[in-house]
Amino acid sequence: MFGLEDLSIDTLTEVNLWGTWVYWLIGIYFCLPILGYVVLPFLTHRNQTGGRRSIAIFVLGDLGHSPRMCYHARSFAGLDYQVNLCGYLESELAPDLLDHPGIDIHSIPIIKNSRNLPFILFASQKIVLQIYYLFDLLFEFRGTKYIMIQNPPSMPLLLVVIVFIKLFSNSELIIDWHNLNYSILNLRYNNQRHPIVRLLKLYEKWLGRFADLNLTVTKSMKQFLVDEFGLNSKSIKVLYDRPGDQFSPLERLEYSKDEIKSHEIFKHVKNLEEYKILISSTSFTPDEDFNVLLNALKLYDDDAESTQKLLMIVTGKGPLKNPFLRTVEDLKFSSKVVVQSVWLLIEDYPLIISVADIAISLHTSSSGLDLPMKILDFFGCGVPVISLNFPSIGELVKHGKNGLITNSQDKQGEPEELYRLLKLILSDPALMRTIGEGAMEESELRWRANWNHTVGEIFRYN
């Protein structure tokens, strides 16, 4: 039997040397990518010290449904920044974004549960893949001056960006607080003390303190971040949403009312001139209860004293659209109330709003601290709004001045309250005129001027 004792000392030494070299080669093989993609870029990286600045804007959502972040991109491009706008590309983007020489669009891959994995497994897989995709993009923008993220969603985007900045970049972090991620998650559990909800709240609270600048959509949210999250009030700017230039009152459009009313959504309505046009916009998700609207319209339809005909246009698409349409069929409205649900092209949406008489917002806010962008779209077209009540809505809708706000104390009473306000505004021409004038005044307030006034000086460098 041939054994180890039969080998000479020289032979054993040669074998050991070869084994050592193999280990070294394997180590070098695995270290080269790290050296090439992490260490060398880190050592040779230089922050922007002159010339054109850049900003990377991240949305872990559909860019086509993230108007505020797209407005940010336009505003930074207007200050001669090179803008890298990153997010999901699920719906159509405005042509001026796609064609703007100062704005580059970067797609974040959408991760779907195509194999029907259990929620925990899919969520874990999704987070791991998102971390990979985000780091891959972030390394493209290592020299950028600023990184701006939308919150929510904050998981895992906020943590990934902070780790990236601390380890590989000297970029400054801007968080644009649209809402609170934990409050949206709480819609699933309906329990603020649920361990997962509490964990996400701690995640937002702790990581939010790493931002160099925080933007909020309301004063209420700024106060919450100071009181509850311990953020420095000096690091927070309230930047109200305002409509973009594409939303304009009918009087300022190049189209006449009759031309707009020739749109196909009006073709199936006989004697259209007899109808008041109501409009609402939605993503058909659980945070907006459209049964409130439909039940209010049914109360109106059954009221013999209410004779004004109504055309209710509901724009948007989403997971609850089919249940909404089935409910419309089940309610069997008379010809006094016509309900249409449509998906409008991006260029048609502002035009249809402009011919509406009244807009309705069913947004109630998971946190009570944000404001719905859709109301800004309505105001941009000079259309008054009836809104459901929630804590911060008074920062935007002024009851009796540019719209009406329900005062129901419980959700069961909301349909009747909405019906009451609808009947009130339709029967009181003076009130309709007053809030219409107030909405027209709101249409003068624009995103560009507001952005430049609030934060323009912070980012201007020329």
Write down the pLDDT at residue 13: 56
Q: Could you give the CA distance from residue 267 to residue 436 in angstroms, rounded to a whole number? A: 26
For the chain, how big is the Rg over CA atoms in Å? 28
Which domains occur in the chain, in start order? 54-242+448-459 (3.40.50.2000), 250-445 (3.40.50.2000)
Residues 6+ apart with CB under 8 A from 333: 297, 298, 301, 339
pLDDT at 32 (0 to 100): 67
Centre a 10 Å sphere on the Cβ of residue 88 and count the other Cβ atoms it contains.
18
3-state helix, strand and coil shares in percent for the chain, rounded to the nearest 5: 50, 15, 35
Helix (H, G, I), strand (E, B) or coil at 39: helix
Q: Residue 296 in contact with residue 328, Cβ under 8 Å?
A: no
Please give the model's pTM, rounded to 2 decimal places: 0.86
pLDDT in tens, the chain (462 residues): 445 455 455 554 554 555 566 566 666 666 666 665 555 555 545 555 457 899 999 999 999 989 999 999 999 999 999 999 999 999 889 999 999 999 999 999 999 988 888 888 898 899 999 999 999 999 999 999 999 999 999 999 999 999 999 999 999 999 999 999 999 999 888 889 999 999 999 999 999 999 999 999 999 999 999 999 999 999 999 999 999 989 999 888 878 888 888 888 898 888 999 999 999 998 887 778 889 999 999 999 999 999 999 999 999 888 889 999 999 999 999 999 999 999 888 889 999 999 999 999 999 888 999 999 999 999 999 999 999 999 999 999 999 999 999 997 677 789 999 999 999 999 999 999 999 999 999 999 999 999 999 999 999 986
